[in-house]
Structure 1
Amino acid sequence: MSGGGQYSAFSDVAIVEAVRTPWVDLGGALAKISPIDLGIKVAREVLARAAVSPASVDTVLAGSMAQASFDAYLLPRHIGLYSGVPQSVPALGVQLICATGLELLRQAALHVGGGGQMALCVAAESMSRNPIAAYTHRDGFALGGEVQFKDFLWEALYDPAPAMDMIATADNLARRHVLSRETVDEYALLSHQRAMQSQVDGHWLSEIVPISNECFELALFQPRCIELPRGVESVTQDSHPRATSPEALSRLRAIHGDGVQTAGNSCAVVDGAAAALVAHLSQTDRPVMAHLLASAVVGVAPEFMGIGPVLAIQLLLQRSGLALDDIDRLEINEAQAAQVLAVAQTLELDIERLNCQGGSLGIGHPLAATGLRLVMTLARQLREENLRYGIAAACVGGGQGMALLIENPLYRAFPERDRLSA
């Protein structure tokens, strides 16, 4: 720990397996499903895919931003119980806004590195179930007085410290980094095109667990169920990737006056959940998805919160002894196009190494769950392309940034030599 942020290095820690649901647009097929039930689904699936008994898990870590159900306080515990983890195993709620998924992995690595056995990490978000809420009517309503119900979904994205929402912080970065509307739209178009092509090519199929009507039984307790809308038998792919064009993007109005951010170059609002298993290498005898090497978390000015990944990545590289040129792929959450462009510009980062299969502009951003998606997508790319190092990073509302460094466990420095000698 230092005044410039927090760095953690991990030894012999692996991400064994990771999965996610499809990311589905606000008000879509997952809109009525509790994030707890989405979390149970991915938790059960990640255990099954890894061929790991729930009894091997000795901690459950779970995160969700919105109070999307009346039993939201119980989210970590119920995910653990209904996924089959023994009652004696504790469950902890974790929250770092848009970096919650990354923080789950950090907490899991610290647990495993401190003598733990295996951590079940789950992040679930129902943006559709964000409540219409009021905090000032506990004592009733004054006759003729103002009724102060507000939409939690949008109000929660406003930071009262700098008195601006997250879109305004991205516009701040656009002004500071001299990013024009055309430049921002150009990147958004690239992200949408990459996401569309990735869906066509089936890149995400191995990550996604289909969702269908299903109940989860737990002896002596009430069942929990997933019920899709009438007429929907299953949900098998992300719903947001779609074709767009420079002309379509340019026609959209800026959200704030002379700003550059629009609905087309900002992340999509979606529902979804993801899960990962983290273990010490000594606890698994199967090939693992990735080695988790290090993490960095930093604070930045709230009014420029989107620049957080820069300082986190710089700290990560400085303390790990690597250079940016050593990093083969980066997955940086696309909260807004201006935000990710400002990060890339500051780092002097080649866009060809960044979000190569599309990002949150194209597929969406279920707040707590995105960090886990970034890491599983990154790990898969490293394996498929025989690359070694990757960094996943995200900005955090309120002015923070987080980054994780992973390594491909199957990397071969000289694959052609290996092939010839086989």
Structure 2
Amino acid sequence: MRDAVIVDAVRTPVGRGKPTGALAGLHPTDLSAHVLTALAERVGLDPVLVDDVIWGCVSQVGAQAGSIGRYSVLAAGWPESVPAVTVDRQCGSSQQAVHQAAAGVVAGQYDIAVAGGVEMMSVVPIGSARAAAGLGEPFGPAVKKRYGVEGFNQGLGAEMIAEEFGLTREQLDQHALDSHARAAAAVDEGRFSGQIAPVTTPNGVVDTDEGIRRGGTLESMAKLKPAFKPDGVIHAGNASQISDGAAALLVTTSEIAARHGWTPIARFHTGTVVGTDPVTMLKGPIAATEKALKRSGLSIDDIGAFEINEAFASVTLAWLAATGADYRRLNPNGGAIALGHPLGGSGARLMTTLLHHMRDQGVRYGLQSMCEGGGMANATILELL
């Protein structure tokens, strides 16, 4: 029986998604090509052997249009015979890309696949695809009638989740401070050095995640104004950062890996996806985790590390409350509040960080999940080899 293993994973540093950001000005296909090239070089992969590249991207418009996965392959100088497909499952796009790569490998459609994703939010701002050519919202009268709303807002959804789980602003702010502190410690201890492929820009080499802030306090956080409700608890300091970044993973079978002399990091153990209420929208990781654990036969205590995307602090703290997971195992190297959230690249970034943490710390099982626009979530369980 065929299995799916991840041989290696690499990511760019995450830059701030603004015109002054460290990676701003680079083309998304070139940033994607950078991690594709770095991945191939790390493992000695001849790109001609790649059966498919599955690439996540959310805002598929402008510089990220036209199936960016394909142009990323060409930008990397890989053979024209290597195909690619671009996936949109909102923020979970590149996590979904890994799921599709693993499924294709297990099914025998692929022997070797590369999965990953990119988002350059400094180049293609969030909401660009929706606003393109003034073509309107991605939902019509039937959806509005079903839910009794004129639109969907993730920030308001995050506020609803905070209210439902009784989360205070102080709790959310402390969680955000913890994210920055954990990420800063990871940088200081060199925990990211093995997973980051430094990027050369016109302004120099970028080798460190740009969004990490040190020295924050509850007092300084309290000065930030709520972003979505005048009396709300969600603000810029306890929400994920707008970012630039890309990541890539090599997926194959254990037999093929051995044939090439590769030592895989982990086995793709379990993958699930769920749909949830699109109004609150962001509770999907709770249901996805439950489904993944049930399917795998594992318990929450069997998992040694969790990467749950910090879209908003209320998302991860609600997930923690619902699952009973150990807070110390949640995003041990910081999350998207500190490191940033380059939409279509985030799923692959989280998985890259999780894989390297599992290998470095000897963690047998790791679980990843992230909320996704429209009310969805993927969950993945990896097993260290």
- Structure number with greater Rg is 1
1:398 aligned residue: 374
Q: Give, in angstroms, the shift of residue 82 of structure 1.
A: 3.1
TM-score (structure 2 length as normaliser): 0.90
Q: Distance in 1 between matches of 2:29 and 2:300?
A: 38
Q: 1:137: how far off?
A: 10
Shift of 1:122: 2.9
1:141-160 equivalences in 2 (<5 Å): none
Q: How does 1:117-156 map to 2 (within 5 A)?
A: 117-130=111-124
SS of match in other structure, 1:372: helix
Structure 1 unaligned spans of 5+: 1-9, 139-147, 153-158, 214-227, 410-422
SS at match of 1:97: coil
Percent identity reads 35
- Per the alignment, residue 99 of structure 2 pairs with 106
Tell me: CA distance 1:311–1:82, structure 2 relative to 1, closer, same or farther (3 Å). Answer: same
> Are the aligned partners of 1:54 and 1:83 in contact in 2 as well (CA < 8 Å)?
no
CA 35–136 in structure 1, closer or farther in 2 if over 3 Å, else same: closer
The equivalences for 1:41-80 within 5 A come to 41-67=34-60, 69-70=62-63, 72-80=65-73
Q: Deviations over 1:215-242 (max 9, x none)?
A: xxxxxxxxxxxxx3xxx12111111101
User: What's the secondary structure of 2:62's corresponding residue?
Assistant: coil
The AA in structure 2 aligned to 1:124 is: V
Deviates further, 262-271 or 72-81:
72-81
Which of the numbers 192, 207, 219 marks the counterpart of 2:195? 207
Contact 2:8 2:264 in 1 (8 A): yes
CA contact (8 A) 2:59 2:128 kept: no
Deviations 1:56-75 (A, max 9, x none): 10111112112453562141
Distance in 2 (alpha carbons) for counterparts of 1:302 and 1:399: 4
Change (3 A) 1:87 1:38: same
Query: Which residue in the other structure is 2:6 paired with?
Result: 15
| Contact 2:305–2:330 under 8 Å retained in 1 | yes
1:371-394 superposed Cα distances (whole Å, 9 cap, x missing partner): 111112111121122121010110
SS of equivalent residue, structure 2 residue 24: coil
Moved more, 328-337 or 116-125: 116-125
Q: Which of 217, 232, 242 is equivalent to 1:245?
A: 217
State the shift of 1:188 in Å.
Answer: 1.0
SS of residue paired to 2:175: helix
Residue 332 (structure 1) aligns with: 308
Structure 1 pair 186–54 and aligned structure 2 pair: CA distance change class (3 A): same
State which drifts further: 129-138 or 351-360.
129-138
SS at match of 2:282: helix
Aligned-CA RMSD value: 2.2
1:94 alignment counterpart: 87
Are 2:151 and 1:178 equivalent residues in the alignment? no
Find the aligned partners of 2:310 and 2:195 in 1 and give their Cα distance.
19
Whole-Å separation in 1 of the counterparts to 2:129 and 2:246: 27
Amino acid at match of 1:176: E
AA matched with 2:10: V
1:260 to 233, 238, 254: 233
Alpha-carbon separation, structure 2, partners of 1:172 and 1:124? 29
Gaps of 5+ in 2: 138-142
Match of 2:177 among 177, 189, 202: 189
In 2, Cα distance between the equivalents of 1:253 and 1:259?
9
Q: CA deviation at 1:149?
A: 11
SS of equivalent residue, structure 1 residue 283? helix
Q: How far 1:198 moved relative to its partner?
A: 1.1
Aligned length: 367
Secondary structure of 1:273's match? strand
SS in 2 for 1:302: coil
Which one of the candidate residues 216, 240, 243 is aligned to 1:270? 243
Residue 375 (str. 1) matches residue 351 (str. 2): yes
Q: Does structure 1 residue 315 correspond to structure 2 residue 291? A: yes
Instruction: Check whether the contact 2:55–2:97 (CA below 8 A) recurs between aligned residues.
Output: yes
Question: For the Cα contact (< 8 Å) 2:105–2:252, is it kept in 1?
Answer: yes
Mapping of residues 280-299 of structure 1, within 5 Å: 280-284=253-257, 285-299=261-275
